[in-house]
Amino acid sequence: MIRYLIKNNAKLMGRSWVNVLLFAFCPVLVSAVLISAFSGLMKTYQDHGEFRCGYSIETGSIWENAEEALKIAGAQTDITFTRFDSEEPEEIISKNDLSGFVKLEGGNYTIYRVSDQPAQGAALEYFMSVFCDEMTDAKANSVRSDSWATDTPASDPAAKEAQMIGTDQYDDIKLTVEHPAFLKAVDSTGYYGIVFVLYYSWCAIICAAGLLTSEKRYGIRRRYTVSALGETQIYLGRFLPLSIVVMLGTLAAAGLNAAFFGTDWGNLFYVVVLFLVMTAASSALGLMFQSITDNMIITVILTFSLVWTMGFFGGSFETYMFSDHPEYLKLLSPIYHCNRAMVEQASSGSSSYFGSAILYCAGIIVVCSLISIAASSIRRRGRA
């Protein structure tokens, strides 16, 4: 009896074009819009490689003493500096096919970037910032050493400035070039192509709306009361087919995003396991609301409101990397754990949020299922 109920309910839900549209195609349409809209915002890092940069130095400035150090430090970071003093920076860049230009005057510098080489421009800005810090530290150390050696510290501001300008070379400037192992960058295709498939799966109860409404309209529930089926069996007869149909629709949407947009889902084992537990959790959550209210309209409103709130704090409407919500609010959202687990394992191969996402969803399944069975049992005794 229970197997027939599960099989029949799965057929009824799977044949609905509304369910196919909602879980297989709507996430793809929304993903397409957001991938296009945020493709510029979430561009991945591009290595700037080796490039040439021009520079000019004002006569008499402190930069004359640091010129050789500038070239050496630039070579350490794959930037070749070439001096030009005759023309305007824009003309020099154009004529010599440079990736940038630095104008060194007095104690300041001005950077001229090339619009179609953003990676090189960002690298040049970072280099100059680090170089100036190192140059200041090197000269300050030199001043302290001279003061200690002569026992005549330069307390007067004018004398201290004269010491800083000096004629000593900045030969001891050494830039530390580091290559930290950051997590792989995630672009809009990899992010929105994943999170909105997950987001729609949390609206699982809509998949069972037609079935549950028909049961109430045609008095099928009254027949359950006189059948040999217990409340747990009746619940499983709804919960299992709902979870299966929603999971299949979610996997279909994931496959379409991968085919149309090139979304990388990473390890398929992790994908299937998380989808299995997550769609079961969303199904249990929706059935709990339906069992308590016994009204499909109220159930849909409550489910959508809760899912939207969880998605708002969970990174579905803004990337969790850029989110400014308090951390404790994000951690309260199961969608946040699922989003991070899926996106991070897809981009980096692993995620510390995978375990918490599974445990969170498993907890929702157990608690919501027990509440649903208890609510249905109380209502059944009331009808008896």
> Which tens digit of pLDDT belongs to each residue from 263-272?
999 899 999 9
Do 222 and 161 fall within a single domain?
Answer: no
Is 286 among the domain residues?
A: yes
Sorted by sequence, the CB contacts under 8 Å of residue 70 that are 6+ apart come out as 55, 63, 81, 131
Phi, psi of 101 (to 5 degrees): -150, 140
Contact partners, residue 186, CB within 8 Å, separation at least 6: 42, 44, 319, 321, 343, 347
Give just the sign of the alpha carbon dihedral 65, 68, 71, 73: negative
The domain spanning residue 147 has which CATH number? 3.40.190
Question: Quick check: is 179 in a domain?
Answer: no
Assess whether 193 and 241 both reside in one domain.
yes
The pLDDT, as a whole number, for residue 140 is 62
Decide if pLDDT at 364 tops 90: yes
Spell out where the chain has E strands: 51-57, 79-83, 100-105, 108-113
Question: Could you tell me if 156 and 275 lie in one domain?
Answer: no
Is residue 42 within 8 Å of residue 191, measured between CB atoms?
yes
Strands 108-113 and 100-105 turn out to be: antiparallel
pLDDT band at residue 40, thresholds of 50, 70 and 90? low
Q: What confidence score (pLDDT) does residue 361 get?
A: 96
Query: Do residues 9 and 150 share a domain?
Result: no
CB 178 within 8 A of CB 126: no
Q: Please tell me whether residues 27 and 85 are part of one structural domain.
A: no
Last residue within a domain, chosen from 116, 131, 165: 165
- Same-domain pairing of 120 and 84: yes
Question: What is the pLDDT at residue 276?
Answer: 96
The answer to whether residues 352 and 275 belong to one domain is: yes
Band of residue 187 on the pLDDT scale cut at 50, 70, 90: confident
pLDDT of residue 179: 44
Mean pLDDT of all residues in the chain? 81
Residues 239 and 356 in one domain: yes
Is 350 in the same domain as 231?
yes
**pLDDT of the residue at 338:** 95
pLDDT bucket at 196, cuts 50 / 70 / 90: very high
55 pLDDT more than 50: yes
Question: Amino acid identity, residue 243?
Answer: S
Give the pLDDT confidence score for residue 95 in this predicted structure.
Answer: 86
Report the largest interatomic distance among the alpha carbons of the chain, rounded to a whole angstrom.
104
- Of 174, 243, 213, the residue nearest 221 (C-alpha): 213
Across 3-12, 239-248, 334-343, least confident range: 3-12
Which is more confident, 173 or 233? Answer: 233
φ/ψ bin of 349: left (φ > 0), alpha (ψ from -120 to 50), beta (otherwise): left
8 A C-beta contact, residue 190 and residue 346: yes
**165, 198, 216 — which closes off a domain?**
165
Please report whether residue 181 resides in a domain: no
pLDDT the model gives residue 225: 62
Query: Of the candidates 131, 165, 199, which is a domain's last residue?
Result: 165
Specify if 172 maps to a domain. Answer: no
108 pLDDT higher than 60: yes
Backbone angles phi, psi at 108, to 5 degrees: -120, 170
> Cα–Cα distance between 384 and 377 in angstroms, integer?
11
Q: Are 76 and 130 in contact (CB under 8 A)?
A: no
- Examine residue 33 and state whether it is found in any structural domain, yes or no: yes
Residue 302, pLDDT score: 95
CA 266, 272, 274, 275 torsion-angle sign: positive
pLDDT at 201: 93
Query: Residue 383's pLDDT band (boundaries 50, 70, 90)?
Result: low
pLDDT band at 381 (very low <50, low <70, confident <90, very high): confident
Q: Give the mean pLDDT of 188-204.
A: 91
Residue 177 domain-assigned (yes or no): no
**Whether residue 214 is found in the same domain as residue 321:** yes
Q: Is residue 319 part of a domain?
A: yes
Q: Are residues 63 and 23 in the same domain?
A: no
User: What sign results for the dihedral spanned by CA atoms 114, 116, 120, 122?
Assistant: positive
Residue 70 is part of which domain span? Answer: 51-165
Nearest CA among 275, 287, 292, 278 for reference residue 369: 287
Between 353 and 17, the higher pLDDT residue: 353
Q: How many domains would you assign to the chain? A: 2
Between 123-137, 209-223, 262-276, 293-307, the lowest mean confidence (pLDDT) is in: 209-223
What's the DSSP call for residue 181? -
How far, in Å, CA of 186 to CA of 352, rounded?
17
Under a CB-based contact definition with an 8 Å cutoff, are residues 197 and 249 in contact? no
d(CA 241, CA 50): 58
Q: Quick one: 64 and 111 in the same domain?
A: yes
